[in-house]
Amino acid sequence: MKYVRRRANNKLIESTALTDIVFLLLIFFLLTSSFVSHTGIKVNLPGINKPIETSVKKNISVSINDKEQVFLNDKLIEKASLLPLLKDILETDEEKIVIFRADKTLKIEKLIELMDIGNSAGAARLIIATKVQDAEDN
């Protein structure tokens, strides 16, 4: 009796193409994530040692720079027009959260004045923006 040997079907899965695609996707996401930048007014924020977790969906921001120029959502406005403009925005906002950004060289009284205007406009929560300090900054 003669035995017939069958050839072993060594089917290899070509993973080279899949590896190339995954590698290219990884490079794409790494490169595009570095393009995300925060646009807005250049304000030198004061620092804190420990970051605070907040979850704000829509930012209503009031900024004041070292020249005491007031910005509402990155648009330059007069300080006297802040109250009516902020009231209009807060009427349609569900969360009524206002984030205040002030330059660290500015006197605290200027920030308190803006926060008082925000409170008068009907803000439910007032948040002061800070940045996390590095260990070398201390």
Give domain limits for the chain: 47-137
pLDDT-based confidence at residue 28 (cuts at 50, 70, 90): confident
Choosing among 3.10.129.10, 3.40.30.10, 3.10.20.600, 3.30.420.270, the CATH entry for 47-137 is 3.30.420.270
pLDDT-based confidence at residue 58 (cuts at 50, 70, 90): low
Residue bearing tokens 């900024």: 63
Sequential DSSP letters for 9-53: --PPP--HHHHHHHHHHHHHHHHHHTT----S------EESS---
Indicate the pTM of the whole model. 0.57
Cβ-based neighbour number of residue 65 at 10 Å? 18
pLDDT digits (tens, 9 = 90+) for 82-124: 999 999 999 988 888 999 999 888 888 988 999 999 999 998 8
